[in-house]
Structure 1
């Protein structure tokens, strides 16, 4: 019993979730600005750095959260749920950084309308993700739990929209782009951006599970 008394009984898990969600939105907004200002090399470098900074900050929160799981005696929700949520959220931040890095590595020369549309949907998904996460600390309240579930449904709809945009983008790319190298580059970017929304949907599914089991 003494060992149990020495361990923290409640970690700051909900606060860590909120901090991570904020970093995701920061990364998404920086990436959106990168896309919007892609032809300006100085701004491109600036926003690339902001994406990297946000992703590294998110990594630190993930590390702290995973460490807290092991040293906290009683957690506010199931340990597996905490682990699944924070690591799936971290996947979102990683994918945003991967998208920015891939553009640089593949030497993408210009942004397409489809990249802009997928980026916009990714940003909206990340913002809804943050909104849902911030409600988790109060899901014992039925109205809050309902609001969180509704926000998760919005993420699902945005992910479906991104699916449709990507299918249209791929069809157009293979029909109209004569340069095979450009096809390879843009296909990779489209898939990464759509995967951001997929991963946001995965986060929403984790949140839905937490709500249904704990509210």
Structure 2
């Protein structure tokens, strides 16, 4: 029995989406934690981390696809279909850009800089708060906790902006044009991940405003 059939058989129609979103959030936790730990022990000659990020990205694609399948098959949804679409796409964007960050680190053989791990930690913390927000979003029982998580995610994104700026300043001081191009590109991809997390937080907060 495929994953879709299992959900149809054992889950109330409007509960399927929360189950899937929680699975997506759990997957992002695993992916971002593995990325952060891999960055701390980075080795440009070992592509294990890149392969793991690729696997996570494919798993996220599968979960996102299942959400869209369920959206097409079910009339009853826990909140607006448009919001389900935005939330699913936003969560998938986080995984896409995290994988892209890993890919460019290896393609560029980019030297490790401290801002990589600083940004990866902010990404992991953002994913933890996304997980908390989605869990508390269920049945709109804890809107206060959801909003607090969203505020934290917005704060992490602001910090990431500062880390990006400082990282660019530091790498320009090297006066090495090739290094500047490589490091600046990776830093910008990592910062985009925090932007995508903030987009997810904004979507979740809008859902709470509508329904809580």
Matching of residue 208 in structure 1 with residue 205 in structure 2:
yes
Q: Write the distance in 2 (CA, Å) between the matches of 1:14 and 1:79.
A: 13
After superposition, what is the alpha-carbon deviation per residue over 1:74-103, rounded to whole angstroms, capped at 9, x for unaligned? 111100000000100000010110000011
2:55 and 2:99 map into 1 onto residues whose CA distance is 10
How many angstroms does 1:40 deviate by?
A: 7.3
Q: Which residue number in structure 2 is paired with residue 173 of structure 1?
A: 171
Deviations 1:160-199 (A, max 9, x none): 111111111112222x122111100000011011111111
Could you tell me how far apart the structure 2 residues matched to 1:179 and 1:73 are? 57
1:183 and 2:164 are equivalent in the alignment: no
Structure 2: give runs of 5+ residues left out of the alignment. 1-11
Contact 1:32–1:123 at 8 Å: present in 2 too?
yes
Q: Is residue 78 of structure 2 the alignment partner of residue 81 of structure 1?
A: no
Deviation at 1:9, TM superposition (A): 4.6
CA distance in 2, matches of 1:157, 1:190: 18
* 1:11/1:68 contact within 8 Å kept: no
- Larger deviation, residues 67-76 vs 182-191: 67-76
> Which shows bigger deviation, 21-30 or 92-101?
21-30
Output the CA distance in 1 between the equivalents of 2:76 and 2:205: 22
Aligned to 1:5: none
Contact 1:30 1:48 in 2 (8 A): no
Runs of 4+ displaced beyond 3 Å: none
1:37 and 2:41 are equivalent in the alignment? yes
User: Per-residue deviation at 1:14?
Assistant: 0.5
Aligned to 1:194: 191
Alpha-carbon contact 2:130-2:201 (below 8 Å) kept:
yes
Counterpart Cα distance in 2 of 1:40 and 1:84: 35
Gaps of 5+ in 1: 1-7
* 2:113 corresponds to: 112
Aligned to 2:30: 26
